[in-house]
């Protein structure tokens, strides 16, 4: 797999114009202007840059998770440093939109260097893009236009601060629009929770719990064709609980059934549920239920 340490080598590989700044590239095409498209297809690659791109698809299908959606309104894609990406030549994009790419060192020593790490959408997979309404698209384009003006003009000591301020504003709006997308896609969120629980059920029924221990959230997310961060954010917005909390609740629910079997000790119950340390199981159970496993057994076995 190829990895590009500098912005210039990455742009050369992508067959995009050389940048006006060694650590920042801004490409913006509005109306009928021409925006160079990246090369047709690529094996897995990564780089040390952040990328924010608005693309409109005119041919081919893209999946959002496991569901196909209309991408003609525009899809905003976020890529973080060292995130592996690949694509084939089956998808054709409209020659309009924008693309902002900046090396991670461009943010060194700035407030945005810390802020950007808090935005979950940089951890999402490419097929978990932000789908914009026309009004949202217009709002972001106005910000990008300001960035491009500063980028193209003779840059001075104020330029970087102005560009960083505009980038920060763009990311805040994107965060707001993602919140809207989560709320508007409740059907998808409910479906994702159902699929998550189904994967847990399969894992438990297959006997892998005793063999491999408590399931890994990353592995479950991969089976659902989404990233772990996106899965957790979606469930959090819909239910108020993260994937870890849903997993813990599932384990506690299973534990209740096993605890009422008098022939098993608390340690045996813990091991059966994949816990390496029975003490951790007991602490988690008490935290969630308000009483210890032994007290739970004592209380409910008498009913």
Q: How far apart, in whole angstroms, are the C-alpha atoms of residue 16 and residue 232?
A: 35
Mean pLDDT of 257-280: 87
**What's the token pair of residue 270?**
């813990």
Mean pLDDT of 256-281: 87
Q: Which of the two residues, 302 and 168, has the higher pLDDT score?
A: 168
DSSP class of residue 6?
S
pLDDT in the model for residue 128 = 66
pLDDT at 181 over 50: yes
Q: How far apart, in whole angstroms, are the C-alpha atoms of residue 254 and residue 215?
A: 14
Mean pLDDT of the chain: 82
For tokens 């802020």, name the residue: 115
Q: Does the global pTM surpass 0.75?
A: no
Of the listed ranges 30-34, 123-127, 158-162, the one predicted with least confidence: 30-34
Domains, the chain, with CATH or none: 2-184 (2.60.120), 187-300 (1.10.10.60)
Selection from 9, 73, 81, 32 nearest residue 52 by Cα = 81
Count, in order, helices (H) and strands (E) of the chain. Answer: 12, 12
What pLDDT digit, counting tens, does each position of 53-79 carry?
A: 887 654 554 443 334 444 455 678 888
pLDDT in the model for residue 63 = 40
What pLDDT digit, counting tens, does each position of 24-40 carry?
A: 999 998 765 556 666 77
């Amino acid at each position: 797999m190829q990895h590009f340490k500098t912005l210039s080598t990455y742009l050369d590989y992508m067959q995009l114009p050389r940048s006006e700044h060694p650590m920042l590239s801004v490409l913006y095409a509005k109306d009928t202007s021409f925006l160079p498209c990246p090369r047709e297809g690529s094996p897995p690659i990564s780089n040390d840059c952040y990328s924010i791109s608005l693309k409109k698809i005119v041919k081919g299908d893209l999946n959002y998770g496991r569901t196909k959606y209309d991408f003609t309104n525009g899809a905003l894609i976020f890529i973080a440093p060292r995130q592996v990406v690949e694509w084939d030549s089956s998808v054709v994009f409209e020659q309009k939109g924008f693309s902002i790419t900046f090396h991670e060192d461009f943010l060194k020593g700035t407030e945005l260097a810390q802020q950007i790490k808090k935005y979950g959408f940089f951890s999402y997979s490419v097929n978990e893009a932000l789908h914009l309404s026309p009004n949202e698209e217009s709002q972001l384009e106005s910000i990008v236009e300001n960035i491009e003006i500063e980028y193209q003009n003779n840059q001075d000591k104020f330029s970087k601060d102005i560009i960083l301020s505009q980038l920060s504003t763009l990311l805040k709006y994107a965060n707001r629009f993602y919140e809207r997308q989560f709320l508007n896609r409740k059907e998808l969120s409910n479906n994702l929770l159902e699929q998550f629980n189904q994967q847990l059920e399969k894992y438990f029924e297959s006997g892998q719990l005793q063999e491999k221990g408590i399931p890994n959230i990353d592995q479950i997310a991969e089976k659902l064709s989404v990233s772990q961060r996106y899965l957790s954010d979606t469930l959090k917005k819909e239910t108020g609980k993260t994937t870890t909390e849903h997993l813990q609740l599932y384990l506690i629910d299973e534990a209740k059934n096993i605890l009422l079997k008098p022939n098993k000790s608390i340690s045996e119950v813990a091991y059966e549920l994949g816990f390496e340390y029975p003490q951790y199981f007991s602490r988690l159970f008490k935290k969630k239920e308000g009483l210890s496993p032994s007290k739970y057994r004592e209380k409910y076995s008498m009913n």
